Amino acid sequence: MKIAVIGTGYVGLVAGACFADSGVDVVCVDVDEGKLAKLRAGEVPFFEPHLAELVKNNWPDRLHFSSNLAESIAGRAAVFVAVGTPPHEDGSADLTHVLGVAEQVAKATTHDLILVLKSTVPVGTNARVTEVVQRNSKHKISVVSNPEFLKEGDAVNDFFKPDRIVIGTDDAHAFDVLERLYAPHNRQRNRILRMSPKSAEIVKYAANAMLATKISFMNEVAELCNLAGGDVEDVRVALGSDQRIGAHFLYPGLGFGGSCFPKDLRALVRTGADLGVSMKVTQAAIEANELPVATLVKHMEQDLGGLAGKIIAIWGLAFKPKTDDVREAPALRLIAELHKRGAKTQATDPQAMETARASLEQMGLREKVLLVENEYAACEGADALVIATEWNEYRNPDLARIGGLLRSKFLFDGRNILLRETVLEAGFAYRGMGRPPL
């Protein structure tokens, strides 16, 4: 089978490379010639485990890169749309790129094809795209909603071993083509869920809202533990033992970030408002996500006797481990709050240094934050250490070495990844999230 993928961002490149690795002939289309040249050289523009290896292994045999949309879709059974849907100021998704690509495909195609919406789009987008292609093409173009459910940091594995494959279409032929396309990833058990396009569009937002709500709920429980004197780690384990709840996404910390949860929750609230539905739980999850960083800053002020003039070491800048994505990262929000209170920061991350540098520039903080190449350099002369991202290499640090680098031995564990007893034995004052300070 031959397919095209429009967009070589996170979703498009992962999908294209993974389909190619499964034997499909894939051409990935993008308007950025510089980006395409780097991809042909095996350079992936963002960090995602195993993705660069897939690109190198499949280009140029089954994976191709082009800026010519008309040539790229010729003879292709399906064209996947994986372009960005950035948020408007009111939280709604900007569909300019999706609708623009749909129009280009409709005008350029010389045969019937299937147009697959992989981008995260609000309910009703399939119908809008269908109107666009019907208005601009003489050929039959079936529009299918096929949302992605990829976790940054584990996207390749998620694609090859998905929990579910949602296909939203009323067209039997289109469903059959996608069922065959996904067959290599559907052998162990049937993971394909066929539904209407509108249901498929809602699933993506609903899934992210549910997961984000679990995170926000646990962070509220952590704050309750702070004030009541409980230990959120004990509460978390007991809650996760209930099979109706499960242990996933019950880890308290500094809140969620990234390119999906914040954007998708705001879009869901906006969609609900447009339809006259008040998405109160989703809105509460958004508001509660601001709590953890504010709580940590308050505790740091108390424990350090104020923040003015203090130097704070920050371990982790990405919003989560195994990615270089710093979009809406709690670590950057924390840095901004610390600087508002007169503190200085020394920060590091195993993968997100360049993306963090660009984001700090946009925030007007680039010259104020000292970015260093490793975690121990970040501690030199600092008054306290904050673990902001739960990278594996931060889980068992050389505490004696850290103690010799810090001016005072305060450790704030924003992800609860360290053993408190070990930290105490090394002579540190320790505070986690929702845990009694020691």
CATH number of the domain encompassing residue 188: 3.40.50.720
Regarding whether 230 and 165 lie in a shared domain, the answer is no
Q: Identify the three-state secondary structure at position 192.
A: strand
Please indicate, yes or no, if residue 56 is contained in any of the structural domains: yes
Dig out the tokens for 227 from the structure.
């004030």
Predicted local distance difference test score (pLDDT) of residue 186: 87
Number of domains within the chain = 2
Please indicate, yes or no, if residue 207 is contained in any of the structural domains: no
Please indicate, yes or no, if residue 363 is contained in any of the structural domains: yes
Regarding whether 350 and 296 lie in a shared domain, the answer is yes
Please indicate, yes or no, if residue 414 is contained in any of the structural domains: yes
Please indicate, yes or no, if residue 206 is contained in any of the structural domains: no
Regarding whether 186 and 150 lie in a shared domain, the answer is yes
Regarding whether 159 and 229 lie in a shared domain, the answer is no
Per-residue pLDDT of the chain (438 residues; tens, 9 = 90+): 999 999 999 999 999 999 999 999 999 999 999 999 999 998 999 999 999 999 999 999 999 999 999 999 999 999 999 999 999 989 999 999 999 999 999 999 999 999 999 999 999 999 999 999 999 999 999 999 999 999 999 999 999 999 999 999 999 999 999 999 999 998 888 999 999 999 999 999 999 999 999 999 999 999 999 999 999 999 999 999 999 999 999 999 999 999 899 999 999 999 999 999 999 999 999 999 999 999 999 999 999 999 999 999 999 999 999 999 999 999 999 999 999 999 999 999 999 999 999 999 999 999 999 999 999 999 999 999 999 999 999 999 999 999 999 999 999 999 999 999 999 999 999 999 999 888
Please indicate, yes or no, if residue 286 is contained in any of the structural domains: yes
Q: How far apart are CA 206 and CA 120, in angstroms?
A: 12
Predicted local distance difference test score (pLDDT) of residue 162: 95
What amino acid occupies position 233?
E
Regarding whether 230 and 354 lie in a shared domain, the answer is yes
Tally of CB atoms within 10 A around 95: 20
Q: Identify the three-state secondary structure at position 163.
A: coil
The residue range of the domain holding 400 is 212-438
Last residue of a domain, one of 140, 170, 195: 195
Regarding whether 142 and 276 lie in a shared domain, the answer is no
Last residue of a domain, one of 149, 170, 195: 195
Regarding whether 259 and 164 lie in a shared domain, the answer is no
Regarding whether 247 and 188 lie in a shared domain, the answer is no
Residue 194 forms beta bridges with which residues?
167
Rg for the chain (alpha carbons), in Å? 24
Please indicate, yes or no, if residue 69 is contained in any of the structural domains: yes
Catalytic-labelled residue, pool 18, 28, 225, 260: 260
**Angle CA 203–205–208, to nearest 5:** 105
379 is catalytic: no
Predicted local distance difference test score (pLDDT) of residue 147: 97
Please indicate, yes or no, if residue 201 is contained in any of the structural domains: no
